[in-house]
Structure formats: structure tokens, C-alpha cells
A and B are shown apart, each in its own frame.
Chain A
């Protein structure tokens, strides 16, 4: 798989939580290449079914969310400037002087502005800028923008995928398009590997809004076990070592009450046998991932969580390393094949 190209393309798609209509049909088309059957549900979860070799096999669900954080049009002022709020967790400190696309009846380009620094009072300058003090400048008058953009339209960051050294990619929403890339990688690998059990790949919606897509998908699919693929915090100079995972050292496998102990041990064993490097993510409670919702679906689903280290989460420059995506794909497909 041309990992870098696939990942760049996935990060360029628009899929703000709750508005996954476009991205879901795009992903469904890719899934169709490798799956026997593809469905999109009411929540825009995309499920791809791949039959196992054993007629009496069980059902394994592998999920990664395809939605992304974004902004939402709140109001348009008399000069045409747009006020906005956030969808998903966004630090307003990273929004100044960013470029965005407002998805109205047409896509409209804009930049995020605020009161210029030389006009700030000293006490204002010290405090972090608040979202209510920011606005989007589309260069259009109120009359022109009102024809294109309505209250409630979503806004994404403008994507400029940046290839860094050491096979790293920096772009928007690699949380969790990197996970979606892993789903594609597993599909391709499983086309060549024997697997007894049926596998259902799910690109889920609305993760950033409280795991809604995963709740619906887990209920609808009702699998015998679930593997959640998401992003975890990558190691950065100013981050606590025990909360972060180095890029390039393989996926982080989570241990804790949210995760099924035996399957978690099993996937670690597979990693050791296959010489795939991994890191251990100790999660004493809520993992904050779709594993949390999936574990308690219906009568309960044994769930494991595999995370891709990602730096600068929920910014315009989320950064991952390609080797981690490859090794996550390899590890999960080996695991599924051995079950």
C-alpha cells in the first residue's frame, strides 16, 4: 500500500462529526474493493463485511472512527465576518492565523483573525485568546456570504499535508484517518491471509462527540469481539513520559478494565512471536475511546484497543509515522488470522 499517499488523501477528506455524509460514501467505495458487502447505517457508520473460511466462524469487528474535529458557523456579522464554535475538543490557542474552509452551499476559503496585538490591553495580551474573540474572514460581504453560508454549516482546517523527515506525515485529522488507513491495510493483508472468522470493518462516525457512532455500530453488528483502532498521544519534549508513546516504536496496546484481558494478552503474544514492536498503554479507567462504548454494548463485547502514536492531537499539524501504521496493520491482521 502507498501509505503516504493514502494517508494524505484520507486527511484531505471532509468529515466533521455529525456531517459524515460525504466521507462515508467515499470510504464505502474504497471498502467495496476488498469486502464482500458494504453498508452505511443511519449514523453514517460504514461497515465492510469479509467472510471467514469457517462457516461456523464468529464475528470480529474492527473499528476506527472517520469523523474529525471542526468548527461550526454560529453567526455572520453585518460586515460578513463569521463567528463560530467548536465541534470536538479544540484549543482556541492554536486557531489564530489558521486557514479554514467553510462548507456552505459551496466551499468558501477563509482565515481566522482576532483583534490585532498592538490594540490589545496589557492584561488582554497575557490571557489566552477565547473562541468568542475569534472570527473567520472570508473576504465576502454579508450579502455575498449569506447566499453561500448558513448558521450551522461546518468548517474544517485547510489541509496542507507536510511530509517530515523519518517517514512522518503532518496534516489535519490524522486522528483518526490514520486508523482508517490501518483498516484498509488490514483488509489488504487479510485478502492474502487465511482467517476463520468473519471480519466486519467499521469506519465509525461521531467519535469526537461522545462515541455515538460506535454505540450504534456495536449494537447493529453485535460482534463476538471488537478491536478498536485509534490514536494516542505521541512523545513530545514537553509531555509527560508516562502519558505519551514514541513515534516509530509501534502501536500502543492498552491494558485496563476497559479491555478484555485474555485477548489483550493474546495480541501481545502475537506481537512477540511476529517480532512486531509495541508499547504498553496502561489505562486504569475510561480509555476515552470507542472501546469504552463498545465493551458494554448489548450483553457485553470483549474489546481490545490498539493505538497509533500521534503528536499534536487536535491541531492542524497532527503528526504520525508511517512505520507505526504498517506495524499496526500487520499486528492486527496476524492476530485475526490466528484466532
Chain B
């Protein structure tokens, strides 16, 4: 399923090399051409049997993480977050620092040593540090440099009834689905874009979409899932196990209504589970792709992930499979009837 390998590689925004190299190896034999642009987007081109249109698939390779910003006298590493991370989850987590993957732990004051007022407030990011075991600043500086990337450590784990725990499911699930989709041949020209820097402002997709200049684009993502205790049912963004989630609208994009309805109906016809993402919060690469050049017909479909942007994000294999099957079904159907693309562009 590629997910174990993909999630256990580190690719914090701006440092996606490991992930890109792995994907390159997986798809080399499946595509006609691979190009890598100045920011590191990997664009794989697969020629169609009857190329009239350009279809873009997009998934981002980067994940949230950290960068080294300084050192303490006792040898600890100070850090900043890359992408949106809830800092409350950080104390007591394991991380890997720099290119050599130096093991470290995020330390904080033990409960016994906290003053009463400290006990009831969250530990501030500024007060946190990574302990790699060194005792002096000079010692750490020989091993770690300012600007080094830091990633969560979290082995891929299958558990429960068909669930997976891993880091970076957002958006290695999308990367895995794109790889699967490239195993088929379609009528149109397919551009599978593995983008960089989504987590810091949808940066990679902006230039990838310009380069590809597609007729239609489908973004494949990992999205929020809040079907958990303490949350009202009306606030569930998605429900784990209820299938792939289709976005109606979010903070960054307003997908094409025709394209969204088409995907929904096709999934239902094909008996593949699908749900609507029932919140307009969040956003993804679709926002930039939709606004590329003179505008692109765009939609995004996602695998629901509980505890997203944490080292323990959780997905259901069933949802992953339905998302993959829907993406492939859409591509096959559009290929058989390319007029559909033309119709959707006309709205």
C-alpha cells in the first residue's frame, strides 16, 4: 500500500527529498516522463491514448514538523514549528533531528517541580526544547546546525478494526493513491503532481499548476476527522470508516459544483463509500490550483484522519481504499467520455 514506507520517511516542508526519491523509484516504470522543478515538485507525465485534455492529479509530499532555531547552554535544541501544529501535544514526544536522524525527546518540567499555577496552563512552545542527550552547547553544535529539520518519530502501526496509526498520513495517503492511479493507462494526458510545501501556504502546487496548465484537476488529501468524544455530532467534519470525503467548500477553495456532483454520483453508482466533508474550515492545494492562470476546474477528495498533524494520526484502511477506488473510477470514466471534461469546463 506504500503507506508504511511513505509515512516512515521524513519530509517536513522544504525538505521533501527523501519522499520524492522514494516516489520516483515507485513510479519510474509507470510513466513516460518525470520532471522536478526548482522548488522540488515532482511532476510525472503519462501520455494518453487519445490526448485531447490534460488532467492533473495532485498530492503533497511534505508534512508538518520543526526547524532548529537555537541551542541552550546545557546542549538542548530550541525549535520552531513548520506548518500548523497544536503545541499542546508536544511535551513527551520523540523526534529525529537533522539529516542524520539524531534521536531526541521534547522535554518539559516534571509535574513534581511545577508550581501550582504552572500545572493548569499549557506549556508554551518557547519553553520547550529537544534533548538529544548532549551535555553542552558546543557538543550539540557539532552535531546539529541552525535550520536543520526535525520530524516526529512514529512507526506505522495497524490496530483496531482496520485502522492505521502513523505520522504524516496528511498527505502521504494522497501520494500513495497517486502512485496507484499511475498503474493504469488513460485516454487523456495525465499529470500526477507530487507537490512540496503545502503545509506552509500551498506553495508548491501554485507553480506546478502553472507548469501543467491542466483542463481539470483533482486534489487527493488527508483531511480532518472529528468524530470523537467531546464533539457534537453536528461538528463532525467527517466520520472515520464512512468513506472518502468530498470537499464542498473550504477556506482556500470553492470546488466546481459540477465536478463535485459528478464524483459523488459516480461513487454512488459504483457502490464506493463517499461522504461530504461537513465543515468549511481547513484548506489545501486545490485553492492554488483552482486560481492558476485563467482558472481550473478543481475538486478535492480526501481520506479522513483523526488527530491529523500529530505523530499519531489515524485512518481507516477502508476509507483509503474507497478514496483510491473513486479516484481511479473517475479517471477511467473521464477517459471513456472526454466530452465530460469539456462540459465541466463550460459552466
Task: Report which A residues bind B (CB closer than 8 A).
Answer: 77, 79, 81, 83, 89-91, 93-94, 96-99, 109-111, 113-119, 125-129, 133, 135, 137-141, 144, 160, 162-168, 170, 233, 235-240, 243-244, 246-248, 311-317, 319
Find out whether the CB atom of A111 lies under 8 angstroms from the CB atom of B235: no
A-B contact pairs, 15 of them (CB 8 A): A89-B112, A93-B122, A111-B165, A118-B224, A128-B120, A160-B155, A165-B134, A235-B74, A236-B109, A238-B109, A238-B127, A313-B110, A314-B110, A315-B91, A317-B93
In the complex, B135 has a CB within 8 A of chain A: yes
As a 0/1 sequence over residues 124 to 135 of chain B, the CB contacts with chain A under 8 angstroms (1 = contact) are 000101011111
CB distance A139 to B129 under 8 Å? no
Q: Which of B108-154 contact A (CB under 8 A)?
A: 108-114, 119-123, 127, 129, 131-135, 139, 143, 153
Quick check: which of B19-27, B180-188, B295-303, B305-313 contacts chain A, the rest being far away?
Answer: B305-313
The smallest beta-carbon distance between B43 and chain A, in angstroms, is: 32
Give A291 Cβ to nearest chain B Cβ, in Å.
17
Chain A min CB distance to B76 (Å): 6
Cβ of A125: which chain B residues have Cβ within 8 Å of it?
122
A22 to chain B, nearest CB (A): 22
Q: Are B131 and A138 in contact (CB under 8 A)?
A: no
Chain A residue nearest to B279 (CB atoms) is: A118
B113 & A239 in contact (Cβ 8 Å cutoff): yes
A314 to chain B, nearest CB (A): 6
CA distance A81 to B306 in the complex (A): 13
Name the residue among A115, A127, A167, A237 with the largest chain B CB count within 10 angstroms.
Answer: A237
Question: Chain B's nearest CB lies how many Å from the CB of A134?
Answer: 9
Instruction: Flag if B161 contacts A135 (CB, 8 Å).
Output: no
**Cα distance, A93 to B228, chains bound together (Å):** 19
Q: Tell which of B94, B111, B133 touches A160, judged by Cβ atoms closer than 8 Å.
A: B94
- CB-based nearest A residue for B133: A164
A109 near B121: Cβ-Cβ < 8 Å: no
CA A233 – CA B93 in complex, angstroms?
A: 19
Beyond A139-B163, A139-B314, list 13 extra A-B contacts (CB 8 Å). Answer: A83-B229, A90-B111, A109-B159, A111-B165, A115-B226, A116-B231, A164-B104, A170-B94, A237-B72, A238-B127, A312-B107, A315-B108, A319-B107
Contacts of B110 in A (CB 8 A): 91, 233, 312-315
Q: Which chain B residues border A167 with CB–CB below 8 Å? A: 133
In the docked arrangement, what's the CA distance between A109 and B314, Å? Answer: 12
Of all chain B residues, which has the CB nearest A166?
B133
A128 touches B119 (CB 8 A): yes
CA of A167 to CA of B103, assembled, Å? 12
B306 and A137 form a contact (CB under 8 A):
yes
Question: Distance in Å from the Cβ of B228 to the closest Cβ of chain A?
Answer: 6
Say yes or no: A317-B105 contact (C-beta < 8 A), given A96-B88, A118-B281, A311-B131. Answer: yes
Whether a CB of chain A sits under 8 angstroms from the CB of B294 is: no
Residue B340 is within 8 A (CB to CB) of chain A in the complex: no
Count B interface residues, CB 8 Å. 62
Q: Which of A79, A116, A133, A315 has the most CB of B within 10 A?
A: A116
Give A91 to B113 CA distance when docked, in angstroms. 11
Question: Measured between alpha carbons, how far is A165 from B140 in the docked complex, in Å?
Answer: 10
Contact A240 B143 (CB under 8 A): no
Among candidates B89, B131, B163, residue contacting A164 with C-beta atoms closer than 8 Å: B131
Contact assessment for B230 and A313 in the assembled complex, using a CB-CB cutoff below 8 Å: no
* Interface pair B88/A93, CB less than 8 Å apart: yes
A83 to B230, CA, bound (A): 12
With both beta carbons as reference points, the residue of chain A lying nearest to B227 in the complex is identified as: A79
User: A94-B91, A240-B113 in contact; A109/B157 too (CB < 8 A)?
Assistant: yes
Give which listed residue, B108, B161, B312, contacts A99 with CB less than 8 A: B312
Query: Complex: how many Å from CA A240 to CA B109?
Result: 10
Complex Cα distance, B108 from A233, in Å, reads 12
User: In the bound complex, what is the Cα–Cα distance between A96 and B102 (angstroms)?
Assistant: 24
Chain A residues positioned under 8 Å from B91 (CB to CB): 93-94, 315
Asked if B131 contacts A97 (CB within 8 A), the reply is no
In the assembled complex, the Cα of A249 lies from the Cα of B229 at a distance in Å of 46
**C-alpha spacing A23/B57, complex, angstroms:** 53
Taking CB atoms, residues of chain B closer than 8 Å to A116 are 224, 226, 228, 231, 307
Residues from chain A with a CB closer than 8 A to the CB of B163 are 139
Q: Which residues of A contact B165 (CB under 8 A)?
A: 99, 109, 111
The distance in angstroms between the C-alpha atoms of A96 and B282, with both chains bound, is 21
Q: For the complex, give the distance between the alpha carbons of A83 and B282 in Å.
A: 29
Contact of A138 with B135 in the complex, beta carbons under 8 Å:
no
Q: How far is the CB of A81 from chain B (nearest CB, A)?
A: 5
Task: Return the 4 tightest CB-CB contacts between A and B, nearest first.
Answer: A139-B160, A164-B133, A165-B133, A139-B163
Bound together, the chains give a CA A116 to CA B314 distance in angstroms of 13
Say yes or no for B99: interface residue by CB 8 A criterion: no
Q: How far in angstroms is the closest Cβ of chain B from A245? A: 13
The answer to whether A114 touches B230 (Cβ under 8 A) is: yes
* Shortest Cβ distance from residue B93 to the other chain A in the assembled complex, whole angstroms: 7
**A162 to B93 Cα, complex, angstroms:** 11
User: What residue in chain A is nearest B119 (Cβ atoms)?
Assistant: A128
B135 shortest CB reach to chain A, Å? 6
Known: A128-B119, A317-B105. A119 touches B226 (CB 8 A): yes
Nearest residue (CB) in B for A247 is B135
Contact B307 A113 (CB under 8 A): yes
Residues of B within 8 A of A236 (CB): 74, 107, 109, 131
Chain A residue numbers with a CB within 8 Å of B112 are 89, 233, 313-314
Please, which residues of chain B bring their CB within 8 A of the CB of A319? 105, 107, 131, 133
Chain B residue with Cβ nearest A139: B160
Tell me if B86 is interfacial: C-beta within 8 Å of chain A.
Answer: yes
User: Bound complex: CA of A240 vs CA of B153, how far in Å?
Assistant: 30
Are the C-beta atoms of B132 and A317 separated by less than 8 Å?
Answer: no
Q: A144 touching B228 by the CB < 8 A rule?
A: no
